[in-house]
Structure 1
Amino acid sequence: MNILIIGPSWVGDMVMSQSLYKRLLEKHPNAKIDVLAPAWCKPILERMPEVRNAIEMPVGHGQFDLATRWTLGKNLRSNGYTHAYILPNSAKSALIPLFAKIPKRTGWKGEMRYGLLNDLRPDRKVFQYMVERYVALAHSKSDMLSEVSLADTPFPKLTVDLANQQACLEKFGIDTGKRLIGICPGAEFGPAKRWPENHYADVATKLIEAGNQICLFGGPKDTSVTQSIVDLIPEDLQRNCFDLAGKTSLIDAVDMLAACHTVFTNDSGLMHVAASVGANIVAIYGSSSPQYTPPLTDKVQVVNTDIECRPCFKRECPFGHLKCLKDLAPQTVLNLYQHPSQSVQPDNQ
């Protein structure tokens, strides 16, 4: 098998897609897997030993640009792909494999994909978890329901560059002799996934007082959130809090998260990264649900309120109160850190 994957565009989804690549190689050990994805994905894909090549998608997320898709598909014909797996649900995402004349094109039923896919799976909702929906594509339509479950799914595992990790720790002046705790307070999806800054600051303060160091992770868009957390920590403790938001590349964040003993995180792309590099995870859920996109690790504690209106899966709170997040007390979350060795399987939440 010579395989082209049309990859997802979100960090967490890209990490979870590694489970599909693992399953494909379990079933076809000699298969070659290339992934077509946005440029930012390349460093992540290079940390997946299952992937031969990361091919940059020249069309931006949400853009149609038929001419560019046609040209890329035509150029890919020389690679001789035998199979394509299309992970996004849009019609446009299925065009390049068609233009590349790949004989077998597999994906879930989405918007107007009849004819674009010739191995069309009818209803992705037969699987509860997103990662199951990815992995199911590696199985035949007739066998996938009996052969795919979260319990048997190979979890993502990104490789870690220890030399780069050490260089990053030295660059930011982090004491390697003291336990490092990560906090990922952002969420690209929207504010209904973000636990309040004052709650994170409360947790960070207590952890620093207990002798830990804190690293705040995020992208450039998260700098106002992370700075608010730093400002809420007592000034004499701030020297043990390192705000790395916007100061690291995504791949540096992978290596730095691997250096953390525990990571407190919203349901975000970095949550999935942290899970894939072996950190203990305390995952905080607001509008979303661990019944759909849990951290794929056996070292996880999941916490959420039982408020009636969650999960709503909205970007912003429909009622404007964000009680699903505000009413989740810092001590409740911190209590999960007291027993980091007690693992909770995501499907038991």
Structure 2
Amino acid sequence: MASTSLIVAPQWIGDAVMTEPLMRRLHARGEQLTVGALPWVAPVYRAMPHVHAVVEFPFRHGGLQWQARRAMASQLRGQFDNAYVLPNSLKSALLPFLAGIPRRVGYSGESRVLLLNQRLANPKGERPPMVAYYSALSGEGAIDDLVHDRPQLQLPEDVVAQALHHLGVVRGTFAVFAPGAEFGPAKRWPAAHFATLAKALAERGVPVLLLGSGKEHALCEEIAQPVLASHPGSVQNLAGKTTLEQALSAIAASKFAVTNDSGLMHVAAAFGVPQAAVFGSSSPLHTPPLNPLASVFWLKNDPGYQPPLDCAPCFQRTCPLGHTRCLVDVTPERVLQALV
């Protein structure tokens, strides 16, 4: 009989995508996987064929939410042999402990010594590649042994077709832009650059769908309006107007995607679509788009870029030096050349 495992998922879309190789490894050795995820992340796990079921946790950002966790633990008690706690927080390890799951696996940290009974040491020094970091929780190798794992997502064809019909687009004829980055402006390629690129694509007959959350609608309007003024109908601002499942479908069916280092960058990589990924304050050594069709733009490792970006990667939300050269100096023309 297969063992049953609860996966406590990360709370960010990109991190969720990067856990897919771990799901594949656990499934391959006979574990039946149920993922517990926050509602805005759950659709990512429904695009992983190796996941048996997805339970949406009724939790919010921040706070221990003790009563809600106790109630959910009571519902899950007796159902699982294993728990894999992917976030590093104390509260994420609390639910498997309260549910009495016998084997509880995760990384050390945040005083979780009593909550987890199989702990991996957090690596010291430079940040490791996140996909390998998650895959190592399988116990099938150290982080350095797992750097070749690549996330893969898959949606049923009827789901994609329904989404494309709703959006009024045809598979393979449009580009997707994801200009947001939840972390902060030091990860966002300038809106003016996105607009210039969208205008160049419109001149080539390639319409653009702008994807993001409702909080990014104004940012997407800043991109769309100058393009629509000269090329009516060439851009749709869908930020805050799609479900995550519809956004995933649009990316999976796109001609190519252009993103910052964001959750939707990892989605595009996992669907294997051609993509351009622009990095600013963060590093593709830590969270690269693992896709042979990806073009990565990171001026830190560009020997021809002068003066060198000694400040990168800073991993800050806003540029500490106030210039954001790492993003501004990646030109739309250079990105266009990689796509067409």
Quick one: which amino acid aligns to residue 184 of structure 1?
Answer: A
Hey, what does 1:173 align to over in structure 2?
A: 168
Change (3 A) 1:200 1:41: same
Q: What SS does the corresponding residue of 1:239 show, helix, strand or coil?
A: coil
Residues 58 and 189 (structure 1), Cα distance of their counterparts in 2 relative to 1, 3 Å cut? same
* Larger mean Cα displacement after TM superposition, 292-301 or 58-67: 58-67
The TM-score normalised by the length of structure 2 is: 0.91
Matches within 5 A, 1:255-294: 255-294=249-288
Return the offset for 1:145: 5.2
Residue identity (%):
38
Change in 2 beyond 3 A, CA 1:62/1:200: same
Amino acid at match of 1:252: Q
Q: Tell me, in whole angstroms, the C-alpha distance in 1 between the residues paired with 2:187 and 2:235.
A: 23
Q: Kindly tell me: are residues 237 and 5 of structure 1, through their superposed partners in 2, closer, same or farther at Cα, counting changes over 3 Å? A: same
Identify unmatched segments of 5+ residues in structure 2: 301-308
Kept after mapping to 2: 8 A contact 1:84/1:105:
yes
CA distance in 1, matches of 2:242, 2:151: 22
| 1:238 corresponds to | 232
Return the offset for 1:184: 0.8
Shift of the 24–164 alpha-carbon distance from structure 1 to 2, 3 Å rule, reads: closer
Secondary structure (helix, strand or coil) at the match of 1:124 reads coil
Aligned residue for 2:10? 8
How many residues align? The count is 329
- Distance (whole Å) between structure 2 residues aligned to residue 89 and residue 230 of structure 1: 38
Q: CA deviation at 1:38?
A: 0.6
Indicate the residue corresponding to 2:117 in structure 1.
Answer: 118
Q: CA RMSD in A?
A: 1.8
Change in CA separation of 1:178 and 1:86 when aligned onto 2, cut-off 3 Å: closer
Cα deviations across residues 60-98 of structure 1 (Å, max 9, x unaligned)? 12220223222322331131x111111111111111111
- 2:187 maps to 193
Partner in structure 1 of residue 291 of structure 2:
297
CA distance in 2, matches of 1:110, 1:168: 41
Would the alpha carbon gap of residues 36 and 177 (structure 1) be closer, same or farther in structure 2, given more than 3 Å must change?
Answer: closer
Name the TM-score, length of structure 1 as normaliser.
Answer: 0.89
Letter in 2 for 1:212: V
Match of 1:150 in 2: 147
Q: Quote the offset at 1:43 in angstroms.
A: 2.3
Please state whether the residue corresponding to 2:40 is helix, strand or coil: helix
With 15-24 and 234-243 compared, the bigger mean Cα shift is at 234-243
Give structure 1 stretches of 5+ with no counterpart.
339-349
Q: Which is worse superposed, 176-185 or 106-115?
A: 176-185
Contact 2:172/2:254 (<8 A) preserved: no
The C-alpha deviation readout for 1:283-317, integer Å capped at 9, x for no partner, is 00011111011112221110022322111111111
Q: Which residue of 1 aligns with 2:248?
A: 254
- 1:162 aligned partner: 157
In the alignment, the residues of structure 2 paired with residue 72 and residue 179 of structure 1 have an alpha-carbon distance, to the nearest angstrom, of 44
